[in-house]
Amino acid sequence: MNKSALATVFLVVVIDLLGFGIILPLLPFYAQEFAASAVMIGLLYSVYSFMQLIFSPIWGSWSDRIGRRPIMLLSTFGAVIAYIVFGLAESLGVLFFSRVIAGMMGGNISTAQAYIADVTDSANRARGMGLIGAAFGIGFVIGPATATALIHPTFHEMVANAGFTDFAAWMGENRYALPGFFAAFLSFCSFLMVLFKLPETVDTSKPREKVFRRPSVFTPKFWRLLKDQKGKSARGYLIPLVIGFFLLSFGESSLYSAFPLFAESQLNMTAEQVGIQFFYIGIIAVIVQGFLIKSLTNAFSEEKLFMVGNILMVIGLGLIPFSTSMLTLALFLGLMALGKSLNTPTITSLISKEASEDNVGAVMGASQGLSGLGRMIGPTWGGALFAVYFGLPFVATAVIVAATVWIAFGLISKSA
């Protein structure tokens, strides 16, 4: 295992996701500056995931052919442009354009996963993939806090008191420009780290067979190639795992729209209290995926951890509407977050092992693309079911996500 390369790719993803975490909570408020409706705000989130669905498999396939570094350079620099456009937006159309660019260039996660698969052996694969999950947790913990600080009047007053009165006035008139530019700066730092610190892991001179040259998830040819993958595990179980990844992302993202509505209407929680719960979820992800996953995979097989994670996630999701206080809600959210923190690094590790050596990037891109589809559908699903009955989005989603338990059971049976 190349620890230096692993640490570098982790830092690249952390820095990039900090920028993502800064932008994410500001989108609804920024869009309202341009009189956007609730539907348009939802589309701002969905268009990013839709573009990932289209482009993640493409970037993954190209990373197999021309190397990981060029794709990560392209995606991190593309994020710089997207965030600059975000900061300069003066209309809803331009704001949408920034999200389209960000989604198109969002191939760094799947390429980073493929890079980790390149530099880790089977025993350390889940630990390496856990670093990506920990990076997400850090981004979602620190990013929103940074966004709040950058737009807060107190920060503007501090800048003015330091003698930068014109800059403070500009920040007051353009509340969302500075977060956008700061996110662009962070992505540029990621770009520089890839450029100067990240070695290439793909031998592009090697002849490759059955490369995903047109890796659209909407074509039968793509799924046939997926079915024919023969990785190191050689169990022929790639398609169920990819579908499971879609279901898990769908289940998690359905929470983002339904959970705040439930917390406000049923438990009288404020926006700040809801934010604390999301912070709590992020902390669990950082602890489990960043620190505990190595010990857990040493003690238990990835297949069993994947199964346990799915069971905990289903139980946590299904119990949320039965919360009677913030304490019980935190308990059920904690179960769900613990389950997600176990099944995310294990399923990405298992997917990478099912892929052939020549197509690791394409397969990771495909799985991230379908994960993006789940994140695109989930929030709309959760919000629509909440309008019917407050407990329906959680129970119904838990029933659907329960299919991943069956997928895990099938995998364990094949392994045996």
What pLDDT does 1 receive? Answer: 57
pLDDT at 215: 53
Biggest CA-to-CA distance, the chain: 69
Cα–Cα distance for residue pair 254/378, rounded to 1 Å = 4
Please report the pLDDT score of residue 371 as a whole number. 86
| Residue 221, pLDDT score | 63
Between 175 and 1, name the one with better pLDDT. Answer: 175
In the prediction, which pLDDT does 127 show?
84
* Interacting residues of 31 by C-beta distance below 8 A, sequence separation 6+: 40, 41, 44, 92, 95
Residues 50 and 48: their CA atoms lie apart, in Å, by: 5
**pLDDT band at 383; cut points 50, 70, 90:** confident
17-29 average pLDDT score:
81
| pLDDT given at position 156 | 80
Does this model's pTM top 0.85? Answer: no
| pLDDT the model gives residue 409 | 94
Q: Stretch 165-191: mean pLDDT, rounded?
A: 87
Identify the residue with better confidence: 42 or 72: 72
What is the share, in percent, of the chain residues with pLDDT greater than 90? 34
Write the pLDDT tens digit of every residue in 278-336: 778 888 988 998 889 989 998 999 999 999 999 999 999 999 999 999 999 999 999 99
Cα distance between residue 174 and residue 120, in whole Å: 45
Domains along the chain with CATH numbers: 1-196 (1.20.1250.20), 219-416 (1.20.1250.20)
d(CA 372, CA 50): 7
DSSP summary character for residue 402: T
Mean pLDDT score, 340-352: 92
* Tokens matching residue 89: 């937006």
pLDDT at site 209 = 54
- Residue owning tokens 């997926």: 226
* SS3 label, residue 237: coil
pLDDT in tens, 210-253: 555 555 566 666 666 666 665 555 567 888 999 999 999 999 88
